[in-house]
Structure 1
Amino acid sequence: MVTSAERANRLFLVLAAFFVSNALLAEFIGVKIFALEDTLGVAPFEWNLFGQNGSLNFTAGTLVWPIVFVMTDVINEFFGKRGVRFISWLAVALISYGFVFAYLAISLAPASWWVGVAADQGVPDYQAAFAAVFGQGLWTIGGSLVAFLIGQLVDVSVFHRIRRATGERMVWLRATGSTAVSQLFDSLIVLWIAFVLGPQQWPTSLWLAVASMNYGYKMACAIALIPLIYLVRRLITLWLGPGQAAELRAAAARG
């Protein structure tokens, strides 16, 4: 028979594994930039911000980052600051671990037959393609990890400030409110380190324009996913039972 403590431990294990998997996946697929309008088959939206203009282009990592936001809020809800901080540091460590081995894999001498194996698919040099996809620049990796960690630490702090003010009411407010503040930091920091401090030396106007577009996209996703937060919360309560779910939320609120 599964005890209540075992149920809570299994829940945290599943949430942490899903959180880290999505964070790691977002980092590796984030090298691809996609055009939102072309993907949706609509006319380009020519935004104009800070004297810069362009279409809606985002990294492929934005497909899964919203899930990370949801997981952060759910873990905040049931396991509090300690839970979120633990999985955030764990995610940073495992992402760094993944990039180390990606670079080691790039440095391995490729088999001569393998280099041209995908030439008929339009990839004349498989080694160059592999290095381009998995060998993200150190500025990009550093910016992403620093922004992710700061964003998570800000998120957990804001989440619990709102929780103390509202109690068990208005789950949507603490979820979207914490995301609104944390993702502002994340959006500004990652681009500043990767493209302003980095070799590309973006002007301030471009940095602010692109960061604003990314922030707007993240907030739109956060608002759209509010029903999912309530659904996951409900499913967890069914799994744990109302009594234990309430106990975990109360303990999380106390810190």
Structure 2
Amino acid sequence: MPDDPKELKFLILFGSYVGFWGMLQCLTVKLVPLDLTWLGLGTLAFSYGSFAHAFTFPCTDATAEIWGAKRARMMVYMGTAVYIVCTAFLFLAVQAPPAEGWLLNDAYVALFQGGPRIILGSLLATLSAQLWDIYVFEWVKKRTGEKNLWLRNNVSTFGSQLLDTTIFCAIAFYGIIPNDVLPKLIIGSYLMKLLVAVIDTPIVYLVVYWVTGHWTSKGDIEEETEEKGTV
């Protein structure tokens, strides 16, 4: 266990983030109804994995704010590796013969073997969206300085969630659901994620304060200042 309390808190964030990735391949195959009749879109559906994935963004945004983009990207790469490993174990579990008398094997196989496109779409969408989120977060912060955490958090998350939703739905559902329904699914899922993004803004502030004792942090700005000072 690290002696530095700040590093310990980073490990807690890191473990929480990777834990979400470890759950995604099991959650992604669950589709949940989304009632958007009040918007004239009818009742749509979204992947529960996509919904759960939205809660990983406070982890990367808080990490990018406090420690910089390099650590945040490292979290994404490690999360991706865990996702791949968990998916491989899930595939092996599907292929393994069932024990005698276990009557749920057919349902298990149908659930987890029937969604390779969903799992692939989730992996590519999540990886692309997270890296884009970190890039935009860092880009905005370099131009606004330490202030306006709410701005970089929302600008980065709004764009990355649109990227995530579009890639996932296109890979997972193109050719499976009617083409005129696919845009509605993307819009409905994106609106749901925007709500989560708004909710996660105070969460990012609270995490940053929990780690640093301040509502914002210099992060990469501090590192760049130190590097220029040594030149």
TM range (shorter): 0.7 to 0.9
Give how far 1:134 is off.
2.9
> In the TM superposition, what is the alpha-carbon distance from 1:88 to its structure 2 partner?
0.9
Q: Find the residue that maps to 2:32 and give its secondary structure.
A: strand
Alignment partner of 1:86 is 2:62: no
- 1:16 paired with 2:4, answer no
Distance 1:76-1:211 versus aligned 2 partners, 3 A rule? same
Find the partner of 2:138 among 157, 160, 181.
Answer: 160
Instruction: State the shift of 1:172 in Å.
Output: 0.7
TM-score, normalisation: structure 1? 0.79
Q: Deviations over 1:63-86 (max 9, x none)?
A: 522321111211111122211211
Q: How does 1:117-132 map to 2 (within 5 A)?
A: 126-132=104-110
Query: Does 2:20 correspond to 1:45?
Result: no
Matched, 1:72 2:72: no
Q: Distance in 1 between matches of 2:25 and 2:223?
A: 29
Partner of residue 107, structure 1: 95
Distance in 2 (CA, whole Å) between partners of 1:14 and 1:177 is 25
Q: Which has the larger radius of gyration?
A: 1
- Which residue does 2:173 correspond to in 1? 195
Give identity over the alignment, percent.
Answer: 28
User: What is the rounded CA distance, in whole Å, between the counterparts of 1:87 and 1:185 in structure 2?
Assistant: 19
Per-residue CA shift, 1:168-197, capped at 9, x if unaligned? 11111100110011111111111111222x
- Aligned counterpart, 1:234: 209
- The separation in 1 between residues aligned to 2:74 and 2:164, in whole angstroms, is 19
SS at match of 1:112: coil
1:163 and 1:253, CA in 2 relative to 1: closer, same or farther beyond 3 A? farther
Partner secondary structure for residue 27 of structure 1: helix
Indicate how the Cα distance of structure 1 residues 55 and 210 shifts in structure 2: closer, same or farther if over 3 A, else same. same
* Corresponding residue number in structure 1 for 2:151: 173
For the 8 Å contact 1:47–1:55, the answer to whether it is kept is no
Q: In structure 2, how many angstroms separate the alpha carbons of the residues matched to 1:12 and 1:136?
A: 37
Query: RMSD of aligned C-alpha atoms?
Result: 2.6
Quick one: structure 1 residues 64 and 214, their matched pair in 2 at CA, closer, same or farther if it must change by over 3 Å? same
Q: CA deviation at 1:218?
A: 0.5
- Structure 1 113/233 Cα, relative in aligned 2: closer, same or farther at 3 Å? same
Q: Is the 8 A contact 1:34 1:60 kept in 2?
A: yes
The alpha-carbon deviation at position 127 of structure 1 amounts to 0.4
Q: Unaligned regions of 5+ residues in structure 1, if any?
A: 38-43, 116-125
Given that 2:146 and 2:218 are in contact with CA atoms closer than 8 Å, whether structure 1 keeps it comes out as no
Q: Deviations over 1:14-38 (max 9, x none)?
A: 111101111222331121122345x
CA distance in 1, matches of 2:217, 2:209: 12
Give distance in 2, aligned partners of 1:182 and 1:113: 46
Pair 185,157 (structure 1): closer, same or farther in 2 beyond 3 Å: same
Number of residue pairs matched by the alignment: 225
CA distance in 2, matches of 1:217, 1:171: 22
Q: Structure 1 pair 246/221, CA: closer, same or farther in 2 (3 Å)?
A: closer
Gaps of 5+ in 2: none
SS at 1:34 equivalent: strand
Q: Aligned AA for 1:45?
A: T
Per the alignment, in what secondary structure is the counterpart of residue 168 of structure 1? coil
TM-score by length of 2: 0.86
Instruction: Give deviations 1:191-250, integer Å, cap 9, x for gaps.
Output: 111222xx62752x3222211111111011111222212111111124xxx6xx956564
